[in-house]
Protein backbone atom coordinates (compact mmCIF):
# COMPACT_ATOMS: atom_id res chain seq x y z
CA UNK A 1 0.00 0.00 0.00
CA UNK A 2 1.93 2.99 -1.24
CA UNK A 3 0.43 6.38 -0.75
CA UNK A 4 1.66 9.20 -2.92
CA UNK A 5 2.30 12.36 -0.95
CA UNK A 6 1.68 15.48 -2.96
CA UNK A 7 3.33 18.80 -2.25
CA UNK A 8 0.84 21.66 -1.81
CA UNK A 9 0.77 24.34 -4.51
CA UNK A 10 1.69 27.15 -2.13
CA UNK A 11 4.94 25.41 -1.16
CA UNK A 12 5.83 24.74 -4.80
CA UNK A 13 5.14 28.35 -5.71
CA UNK A 14 7.42 29.61 -2.93
CA UNK A 15 10.18 27.19 -3.95
CA UNK A 16 10.03 28.34 -7.57
CA UNK A 17 10.27 31.96 -6.47
CA UNK A 18 13.15 31.10 -4.11
CA UNK A 19 15.11 29.60 -7.02
CA UNK A 20 15.15 32.96 -8.78
CA UNK A 21 17.03 34.71 -5.97
CA UNK A 22 20.75 34.73 -5.36
CA UNK A 23 21.71 32.65 -2.34
CA UNK A 24 22.37 34.88 0.68
CA UNK A 25 20.41 37.86 -0.63
CA UNK A 26 17.80 39.63 1.47
CA UNK A 27 14.89 38.20 -0.56
CA UNK A 28 16.38 34.70 -0.40
CA UNK A 29 16.44 34.83 3.40
CA UNK A 30 12.91 36.26 3.48
CA UNK A 31 11.45 33.57 1.23
CA UNK A 32 13.37 30.85 3.09
CA UNK A 33 11.61 31.85 6.31
CA UNK A 34 8.24 31.93 4.58
CA UNK A 35 8.87 28.48 3.09
CA UNK A 36 9.86 27.14 6.50
CA UNK A 37 6.57 28.31 8.04
CA UNK A 38 4.49 26.74 5.26
CA UNK A 39 6.33 23.43 5.54
CA UNK A 40 5.88 23.33 9.32
CA UNK A 41 2.16 24.06 8.98
CA UNK A 42 1.77 21.35 6.33
CA UNK A 43 3.64 18.76 8.41
CA UNK A 44 1.60 19.54 11.51
CA UNK A 45 -1.64 19.20 9.54
CA UNK A 46 -0.50 15.77 8.30
CA UNK A 47 0.47 14.64 11.80
CA UNK A 48 -2.87 15.72 13.27
CA UNK A 49 -4.81 13.92 10.54
CA UNK A 50 -2.72 10.81 11.07
CA UNK A 51 -3.35 10.89 14.83
CA UNK A 52 -7.09 11.32 14.30
CA UNK A 53 -7.18 8.31 11.95
CA UNK A 54 -5.25 6.23 14.49
CA UNK A 55 -7.65 7.14 17.29
CA UNK A 56 -10.65 6.32 15.08
CA UNK A 57 -9.13 2.95 14.17
CA UNK A 58 -8.52 2.11 17.84
CA UNK A 59 -12.08 3.07 18.73
CA UNK A 60 -13.40 0.90 15.90
CA UNK A 61 -11.35 -2.07 17.14
CA UNK A 62 -12.54 -1.46 20.72
CA UNK A 63 -16.18 -1.65 19.64
CA UNK A 64 -15.67 -5.13 18.18
**Those residues with Cβ within 8 angstroms of residue 21's Cβ, 6 or more apart along the chain or in another chain:** 27, 28, 31
Domain range for 22 is 10-63
pLDDT tens-place string over residues 33-48: 999 999 999 999 999 9
pTM: 0.74
- Distances 30 to 33, 34, 48, 54 between C-alpha atoms, Å: 5, 6, 28, 37
Domain assignment present for residue 42? The answer is: yes
Any domain includes 5:
no
Map residue 26 onto helix, strand or coil: helix
Do the domain assignments include residue 3?
no
Residue 24 has pLDDT above 80, yes or no: yes
Domain count, the chain: 1
Q: Is residue 54 part of a domain?
A: yes
Amino acid sequence: MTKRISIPDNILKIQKKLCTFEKGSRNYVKYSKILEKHIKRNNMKRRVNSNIKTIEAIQEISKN
